[in-house]
Each structure stands twice: as structure tokens, then as C-alpha cells.
């Protein structure tokens, strides 16, 4: 399934006859909070639906990553499902077969208090944060794409200005050479006319 944000993406896939599930246009240069939240909610809804009901197994975002004024790189990032990154040392077992990191953390904090306490429960916190996480990732991608487009336009205008200045210099030289040729021809005609009159 393809979801597009912006006119260019929509027209690109429409022209090629690729079906678009949903499209947001008109705000690619300045995405609003409402549109970003709508995109995040829509993508999350499709991800949470089962495949039989039209859901998706993974969500990837394709955007232009801003590197510098002269360099913008197309990039694909997987947004969902979240990739769990192990903490260094997590999952390592000691001689007795117990998790070494858990024992070390328990010894540091004392065994009476848990490391983190979630209120409400972890699932409610995750549900609330997942939409915000999606929104921040989408905002980042859209702002980088907008910055890349502006940098690309500015670079194109700078190149066009430099080319125009080069053309002005070239055509000024050609005009000066043509004018100098006309002046030289007129002086030659005057001198040869004066010589002809003097010879009579």
C-alpha cells in the first residue's frame, strides 16, 4: 500500500497508474500539527489492523534526507514494527544461568524497588507514546524533505544566476567586439574617403 504526502509524490504514482491508498497534498512545505497527527494516526491504524482487514505488516517512510546545502540523499526508514535494541550486556548469563545485567542492576538499586514504575500500566503508556513517536518521525522526515527541496531550489537558482552572469559577460564581449568592428570599419571608410579626396 502506498500513502503519499505532497503533490509530487501523488502525481508521480498517479501518472504511473500505481494505486494510492491515501494522499495528503497542499502542505508539504509547511506541514501542520493536525496533518502530521492525521498521517500518524492513519498509518498506525493500518498497522494495527490484521492483514485480512487490509492492514499492513510494516510501515516504511521514503523521504529526502538533508545533509547540506549541496547534498540531499533519498532515504528509506522502517518506522513500524519498532526495532528493539538490546542494552550492552543485556541477556548475558552468568555461571548459574541467571541474567548478569539484571543481578548487577538489582544489586545497585537494592532489590526493594523496581527500576521503573509505569502509571498507568506499560501498555497504556506505549499506546499514548506510539502516536507521538510516529508523529515526531513523520515530522522529521517531512521537514528534512522540505529543507532538501528548498536547498535544491536555492542551488538551482544560484547555478542559474552564475550561468546568467557568464552569458552577460559573453554577450557583452560579443557586442563590444561587433561595435568595435563597426567603428573600425567607419574609420577605415573615412580615411579612405579622405585619401580619395586628397588624391583628386
What's this model's pTM, rounded to 2 decimal places? 0.66
Q: Tens of pLDDT along 95-141?
A: 555 555 566 666 665 555 666 776 787 788 888 888 889 999 999 99
| Residues 98 and 112: beta-carbon distance below 8 Å | no
Least confident interval from 63-67, 101-105, 161-165, 173-177: 101-105
Q: How far is CA 14 from CA 11, 19, 41, 65, 158, in A?
A: 5, 7, 24, 24, 32
For residue 192, how far is the Cα from the chain centroid?
A: 70
User: Per residue in 127-137, pLDDT tens?
Assistant: 888 888 999 99
Burial class (CB in 10 A: 0-12, 13-18, 19+), 141: buried
pLDDT value of position 112? 58
CATH of domain 3-82+122-158: 3.40.1380.10
Q: How far is CA 35 from CA 6, 27, 54, 74, in A?
A: 12, 8, 22, 23
Place of cell 540523499: 73
Amino acid at each position: 500500500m502506498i500513502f503519499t504526502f505532497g503533490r509530487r509524490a501523488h502525481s508521480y504514482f498517479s501518472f504511473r497508474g500505481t494505486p494510492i491508498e491515501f494522499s495528503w497534498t497542499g502542505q508539504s512545505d509547511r506541514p501542520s500539527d493536525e496533518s502530521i497527527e492525521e498521517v500518524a494516526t492513519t498509518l498506525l491504524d493500518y498497522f494495527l489492523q490484521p492483514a485480512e482487514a487490509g492492514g499492513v505488516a510494516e510501515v516504511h517512510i521514503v523521504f529526502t534526507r538533508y545533509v547540506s546545502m549541496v547534498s540531499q540523499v533519498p532515504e528509506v526508514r522502517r518506522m513500524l514494527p519498532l526495532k528493539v535494541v538490546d542494552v550492552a550486556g543485556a541477556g548475558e548469563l552468568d555461571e548459574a544461568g541467571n541474567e548478569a545485567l539484571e543481578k548487577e542492576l538489582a544489586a545497585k538499586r537494592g532489590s526493594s524497588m523496581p527500576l521503573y514504575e509505569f502509571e498507568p500500566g506499560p501498555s497504556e503508556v506505549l499506546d499514548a507514546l506510539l502516536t507521538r513517536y510516529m508523529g515526531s518521525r513523520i515530522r522529521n522526515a517531512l521537514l528534512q524533505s522540505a529543507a532538501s527541496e528548498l536547498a535544491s531550489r536555492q542551488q538551482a537558482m544560484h547555478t542559474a544566476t552564475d550561468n546568467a552572469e557568464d552569458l552577460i559577460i559573453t554577450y557583452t564581449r560579443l557586442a563590444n567586439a561587433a561595435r568595435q568592428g563597426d567603428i573600425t570599419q567607419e574609420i577605415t571608410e573615412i580615411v579612405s574617403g579622405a585619401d580619395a579626396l586628397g588624391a583628386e
